[in-house]
Amino acid sequence: MKKILPYLALLPVFLLLVLFEQDYLWTAQEQNLFLHTPLFFEQCMQASGGLLSWAGAYLTQFFYTPMLGAGVLCLLWAFLMWLLKHAFLIPSRWLWLTLIPVAMLLLADVELGYWMYFLKLRGHLFVATLGLIVVALLVWGFRLPLSSYSQLSTLKSQISTLFTYPLFGFYGLLATLLMGMMACRKRQYKAVLLSLVCIVGVPLLCYYVLYHQTPVENIYWTALPIFVHNGVADRWLYLPYVVMVLWLCVAAWRPCVMGMRRWMELAVGIVLLLGVALGWYKDDNFHRQLSMYRQMEQQDWEGMLATISKVKGEPTRALCMMKNLALQRLGRLSADLNRYPEGFARPNAAFPVHSVHTIGKMLYWYYGIPNYCCRWCMEDGVEYGWNVAELKLMAKCSLLNGEQVAAQRYLSLLKKTDCYRDWARHYEAYLHQPSLMTKDAEFQSVFPLLRDDDFLTSDQSQLEPFLIEHFASFPGTTPQQKEMMSVYFKFYLNRNRYVEK
């Protein structure tokens, strides 16, 4: 039972992810992109640690079915526990200690909140897990004896760094550090000195020879997420990574843990559970936003209204704007606008979050403003990396605008994914038969809101004030446009109230 129980602890983790984070996991794969092309692989390998990003992006696709993705993640954690046990020679009695780095990996995935829209590390939900698996394998390999090649045995960690840093970034350097600590315990000071030289020198060598796109201040942290946005750093999110590194260093140094008493075990377990419970991002507005976005994608308008009606506390403007769209689609905007909760709650993030980066692109599409939708998809794609959600919207906007070459380009990319090739083939038929768009319920709801003056000026990253001006300043030629004008004209003079600060 001592050998099995630590692995069984992953079962409640799996259940928690499936029960409470389905929308989060599904959105993570929408904010991800993996293409089965040599060019995509080459692009990932433009920075050290690119192999981890490439593999992480591939595995993130499994969150298209959240239960499957959560299962894959938990299986990888179980494999990591087994590897750590053998790599660091942990007795079965102390196998539960391997739950500490796994708990930190869980926290690193579920504490992100709004960061999931702004992180530039591709496949970040899997990268740290894959990185620690690589570290454990390298440490295990370091322990293997090479008695016939004593000089090679001394140089194992240095040779490892030359090959692993380009592929695994920071995790290759971490493995070298652990090997150096193990060599220090054996009084192999020459190997320790060479390890330190490699940790400092190999990234610099790669910076000047291989990787010119990575800023020099980041060369030692590649394959780690950077929690800095618009000059604001969220340092608490680095804590799980710090704890993981400290745990590995302690395990490599191998202090005598055999004398740990029962009360100490209990105290560590309680601290671990409390840390996970407190660090898990549980903001109600954020999770309802993810739910409503997924329902908006599925055109489940009644579901969106049911979601916001159960909101706890004051909702954010993002929730209210999505609620207004659902009411408009159901033909109840004028009658039921005030029947649902209104609010101005600030998104629970350490930095300003503008709705144009989260729900704005989808709202621009549904409100018949495709050029602004394309504009923000393009800007965010360049800034934070392309993802499936943006390619889908740009394909539909191009179809709507009659831009067949652009639509074919985006659809061809989506056909190279695992989960969206059928989606792309469905919309590719619209290229050959544009009349099919008039029979599509989604396009039918967008057509009446289109205007001839859909040209780009600037929305100042302020979604709701722009929508108010857009609809209130136009008398409308269709019943849908006239309804929007009559509703939003009431807010026109007071539109500054809706500016996101």
Question: Token pair for residue 273?
Answer: 């559970």
Nearest one of 376, 352, 342 to 362, comparing CA atoms: 376
On average, the pLDDT of the chain sits at: 92
**pTM for the structure as a whole:** 0.94
- The answer to whether the beta carbons of residues 281 and 310 sit under 8 Å apart is no
**Which letter does DSSP use for residue 234 in this model?**
-
CB atoms inside a 10 Å sphere around CB 499: 12
Q: How far apart are CA 183 and CA 235, in angstroms?
A: 32
User: What is the predicted pLDDT for the residue at 326?
Assistant: 97
Residue type, 135: V
Nearest residue to 127 via CA among 186, 60, 47: 60
Tens of pLDDT, residue by residue over 198-253, are 999 999 999 999 888 888 999 999 999 999 998 889 999 999 999 999 999 999 98
pLDDT at 258 > cutoff 70:
no
| CA dihedral of residues 256, 260, 266, 271 (deg, nearest 10) | -40
pLDDT in tens, 420-437: 999 999 999 999 999 999
Could you report the per-residue pLDDT of 85-135, keeping only the tens digit for each? 999 988 888 888 999 999 999 999 999 999 999 999 999 999 999 999 999
Burial (CB count within 10 angstroms: exposed 0-12, middle 13-18, buried 19+), residue 103: buried
CB 440 within 8 A of CB 449: no
Position 256 pLDDT exceeds 60: no
State in Å, rounded, how far the first CA of the chain is from the last one.
55
pLDDT tens readout for residues 281-316:
999 999 999 999 999 999 999 999 999 999 999 999
Measure the CA–CA gap between 120 and 105, rounded to whole angstroms: 18
Which of 292, 277, 282 lies closest to 23 in space, CA to CA? 292
> H-helix or E-strand containing 468?
helix 463-472
What pLDDT does 148 receive? Answer: 43
What is the Cα 257 distance to its own chain's centre? Answer: 36
Q: How far apart are CA 501 and CA 119, in angstroms?
A: 21
